[in-house]
Chain A
Amino acid sequence: MKHASFGDKVFEVCNYTFLALLMVVTLYPFLNTLAYSLNAGLDSLKGGIHLWPREFSIQNYKFVFREATILHATMISVFRTVIGTAVTVFCSAMVAYTISRQEYVLRKFITIAFILTMYFYGGLIPVFLLMRDLHLVGSFWVYIFPGVIGVFNLIVIRSFIEGLPESIMESGRIDGAGDFRTFWNIVLPLCLPVLATVALFTAVYQWNSWFDVFLYNSSDINLSTLQYELMKILQNSNASSATMESGFSNSGAAASMVTPLSIRATMTIVASVPMIIVYPFLQKYFVKGMTVGGVKG
């Protein structure tokens, strides 16, 4: 018995140490990038910066936010995140409500039509040709329309609605509320926890997307997003700082203060901070949403 408890103690110490190390491995790259972004550009080139800036400066951030291209890209990122999330959450919830109504005659048909799409995908080129034919190439709406409803969202919300007490919805109908009114006034407010999960997942998807920008709108700088601008910088990371300066329209004076290395770090922080700030607050919800939608045990 005594021997076992000694083993337990050893395990305990190892376990805490290992998990603490895991946190270091997870966080270090972010803190390192943050340190570089807050360090004077020319000084960063000497290397050797780890967790703390050596020569503190907010020059990099000033430069990034003065850059018209980046400001515009940030705006597009915000737009697609806000509009895309609102559209997806509303539409998914509405369709989920209709297929949760047991008496709805099209319930089975609609459910199957959506679920079948989990089993196949038209493919890159056929989808590209479709977007072109729909005149969505070269348009902001190519970020919104293809993602109006996600099957995963639909199923998670439907499961949640089906778990709500029927009596609440009955009371709505007795008051003479139509289906839309019942959905809008009664079901939607009750669904807030699951909608928070869906909204977070959609917002993360929208904010982090770059491939659709690359595929459909790479020739139009006015439709570029923050992630795509960062991607371009990363792919050209071996290019000289001269290319970097010519890539940006700012005056040479401002450009000489910053280096591609520090701009890259700064852009990385700007591109990841919004989601990093939001998710801890919604943790309670998405942990639940994941377990409802992931597996039905």
Chain B
Amino acid sequence: MEKSFFKKLIQQRMLVLMSVPFVIWLFIFKYLPLWGWTIAFQKYKPALSFSQQKWVGFEHFKFLFTDERFLRVLRNTLAMSGINLVLGFVTAITLALLLNEIRLVAFKRLVQTVSYLPHFISWVVAAGIIQTTLANDGIINEILVATGIIHKGQEILFLGIPHYFWSIFGASSVWKEVGWNTIVYLAAMTAIDPSQYEAADMDGAGRFRKMWNVTLPGIKPVIVVLLIMNIGNLMESGFEPQYLLGNGMNVDFSENIDIFVLKYGIEQSNYSLSIAAGMFKTVVSLILLTAANTIAKKTGEARLY
């Protein structure tokens, strides 16, 4: 057995040569950093060697869960990813349904191409555009003044009002990704058997009935899989939009775990606490993802990789 394995390995040396260097790369860049997790259990001092570090057990984790700031950051993370999840799903499915009803192929193509555009710009560019749009002299305030909802001189400083941040984040994410997220649903819709629509026509079903009773059930498997996958990503609320749109005024609502990790780690060089927070996030994500994968397999709808 052993022998034949090595024999095969030598026989397949070209395949080995083509892949093993990248396995080594994988271990260095993806697995080796896990070693850094030990720092979360130490009172880490950069000048000391590994054996000289003082071990403190779960002290940093205990601190996190009594720290008001971390609890607020955790709340923001869950709130923003929750908003993203619900809003992202509802808007993408709605847009896909509406696009699916368009018979004018050229118009449909145009809307699709335009709606993909914001996906291809960076969050830096997007944040700049959002700041301009929401500024005191931005288009939103201009419209509000023109329609008489607010008076001139009462312009709203949207990014300066803390409890507006989640809505701004949700709306920005939808604006950027809604078109992109329709791709999977639209592909699933084209796979629906046309005879189902014909049968519905025979029964005298109108447009809405067909959307509700044929199209939506037709894409249900895709919706279920994506929903499960996204629940696995509940700890991932993003980093760039919060970092770029966040400011001193809205920090209580914009700061999430990723920003907490960055601020403690890079700006304050408190590696131990930063790694403990990041580790907590990864472990929770791992549990969620594993659970999601198990559920996906059980439902038998499809497999995640």
Contact = CB atoms under 8 A, between A and B. Distances in A.
Contacts of A120: 34, 282, 285-286
Nearest to B36: A126
Contact of A149 (B26, B110, B204, B222): B26
Contacts of B122: 207-210, 227, 271-272
B118 A122 contact: no
Nearest to A293: B305
A1 B184 CA distance: 34
B188 to A, nearest CB: 7
B197 to A, nearest CB: 14
Contact of B36 (A18, A106, A129): A129
Contact of A275 (B36, B101, B120): B120
Given A113-B23, A119-B289, A124 B261 contact: yes
A117 B25 CA distance: 12
A117 B39 contact: no
A268 B23 contact: no
Contacts of B23: 106, 110, 113
Contacts of B33: 122-123, 126-127, 129-130
B176 to A, nearest CB: 10
A19 B109 CA distance: 12
Interface residues of B, number: 93
A290 B183 contact: yes
A110 B18 contact: no
Interface string A16-30: 101100110111111
Contacts of A207: 122
Interface stretch (A97-105, A188-196, A244-252): A97-105
B132 interface: yes
Given A128-B265, A280-B113, A99 B19 contact: yes
Nearest to B118: A26
A23 B178 CA distance: 12
A15 B101 CA distance: 8
A234 B303 CA distance: 42
Contact of A178 (B14, B112, B258): B14
B179 A26 contact: yes
Contacts of A295: 184, 222, 225-226, 302
B86 interface: no
Interface string A145-161: 11011010001000000
Contact of B19 (A106, A129, A209): A106
Interface in B104-137: 107, 110-118, 120-125, 127-129, 131-133, 137
A130 B32 contact: yes
A231 B16 CA distance: 43
A72 to B, nearest CB: 18
Interface residues of A, number: 91
Query: Which of A1, A126, A129, A146 has the most chain B CB atoms inside 10 A of its CB?
Result: A126
Query: Which of B19, B139, B239, B274 has the most chain A CB atoms inside 10 A of its CB?
Result: B19
Given A125-B36, A149-B26, A234-B131, A19 B102 contact: yes
Interface stretch (B5-13, B55-63, B72-80, B146-154): B5-13
Contacts of A50: 139
A12 B305 CA distance: 40
B118 A124 contact: no
4 tightest A-B CB contacts, nearest first: A122-B33, A126-B36, A208-B122, A123-B278
Interface of B: 5, 8-9, 12, 14-20, 22-23, 25-37, 39, 95, 98-99, 101-102, 107, 110-118, 120-125, 127-129, 131-133, 137, 139, 175, 179, 183-184, 187-188, 191, 204, 206-208, 221-222, 225-226, 239-240, 244, 258, 261-262, 265-266, 271, 274-275, 278-279, 282, 285-286, 289-290, 301-303, 305
27 contacts: A15-B98, A16-B107, A22-B115, A25-B175, A26-B114, A98-B18, A110-B23, A117-B30, A119-B286, A121-B282, A123-B278, A125-B271, A125-B275, A126-B39, A127-B33, A128-B266, A130-B33, A208-B124, A211-B239, A230-B124, A230-B128, A231-B244, A268-B125, A268-B128, A271-B124, A291-B183, A297-B225
Given A7-B207, A11-B101, 8 more contacts: A23-B111, A23-B114, A104-B12, A123-B33, A123-B282, A125-B266, A209-B122, A290-B187
